[in-house]
Amino acid sequence: MDAAVSQRPSHRFELTDEQIASFHEDGFVIVDRIVDPGLASAALARFEPMFSGTFETGLYPDEWNWRPGRDDPSLTRQICNGWKSDRDVAAVVLREDVGQACATLGGWPGTRLSQDNVLWKPPGGRPLGFHQDAAYDDWAVPAEFVSCWVALDRTTAGGGTLEFVAGSHRWRSWGMIEEFHGPEDPERDLRKAAELEGVEVRKVAVEVPPGGGAFHSGRTWHGSGRNLGSAPRRTLVAHCTTSEARFSSHEVGYIYSRYKRFGDDSMDETHFPITWREDGYRSPFIRPYVDREIGWGG
Ligand SMILES: O=C(O)CCC(=O)C(=O)O
């Protein structure tokens, strides 16, 4: 597919009132189509080269958590901020309509991308522990997320898809879980949190076609089980926060606080781009970058 054409999909995602109400009720909403399947398959084609270290823009991603030959093949492979390394990933996670939807759900004047995740759970791939995203974001103020999870393959309950715990966005904050990557018991912290709340866990699996997915709150418990199917489960996630977010003046995130300047708590749009704002603003580099008119930092 011509990359430049792939950046201009016909479909523009918009939330319905029912979807917004459902997000506030359950802490998530599942959607059959967020991006064009063509955009999803262009991003999918980048997984092999990225995980084996071929990065289209020349820049390494912020986190590259699985490499062939080095890491356990049964782990779920993860790259964070793949958008800096690859424009087909950027074309999904920097979308204006995704930014607008996250701002609507978060009640924000605009959206900033905090990080993306490029996730690849192979057949037999191990779980990701159930957690709340907000626990991983205390280096920012407010530590608030709305995330857009986009399936690039068809997802099924047995295929290790994402699962949400309905209503868990109303539970207390838990903090980081004991084991995130490949735990034997992915629900260990979740069970303790539910016991503290005195509630039953009601899990809902995200089963969607390529290009479909879900939006969830940073407070909603979620995770995923082993991939018992014969097909890989590959996903992009845009973890979004408010356009007003700033760095915490006292909490240091061991990766993302590297982008904080001394004596300045503002977030640089080069690393935390504004994808949509109610006054029409969007970080100016996004369009020419995604359309390949400029390279990284151009
Ligand atoms: O896709 C998964 O299994 C987990 C994704 C996740 O943790 C997230 O989207 O925040």
CA 224: distance to chain centroid?
A: 14
3-state secondary structure 89-140: HHHHHCCHHHHHHHHHHHCCCEEEEEEEEEEEECCCCCCEEEECHHHHCCCE
Question: Which atom of ligand 1 lies closest to the CA of 222?
Answer: 7
Torsion of CA 226, 98, 135, 235, to 10 degrees: 20
Q: How far apart are CA 42 and CA 54, in angstroms?
A: 16
Quickly tell me which residue has 């690039």 as its tokens: 152
**How far does the centroid of ligand 1 lie from the alpha carbon of residue 222, in Å?**
7
pLDDT digits (tens), the chain, 298 positions:
344 444 454 689 999 999 999 999 999 999 999 999 999 999 999 999 999 999 999 999 999 999 999 999 999 999 999 999 999 999 999 999 999 999 999 999 999 999 999 999 999 999 999 999 999 999 999 999 999 999 999 999 999 999 999 999 999 999 999 999 999 999 999 999 999 999 999 999 999 999 999 999 999 999 999 999 999 999 999 999 999 999 999 999 999 999 999 999 999 999 999 999 999 999 999 999 999 999 999 9
Torsion of CA 77, 80, 83, 85, to 10 degrees: -70
Map out the domains of the chain with their CATH numbers: 3-290 (2.60.120.620)
Question: Which atom of ligand 1 lies closest to the CA of 76?
Answer: 3
Q: Is the CB of 118 under 6 A from ligand 1?
A: no
Q: What pTM, to 2 d.p., does this model score?
A: 0.95
**What amino acid is encoded at 97 in this protein?**
D
Quickly tell me which residue has 């037999």 as its tokens: 124
CA distance readout (Å), 234 to 12, 154, 249, 267, 298? 22, 9, 36, 29, 30
Q: Is the CB of 224 under 6 A from ligand 1?
A: yes
Q: Is the CB of 248 under 6 A from ligand 1?
A: no
Contact indicator for 219, 169 with CB cutoff of 8 Å: yes
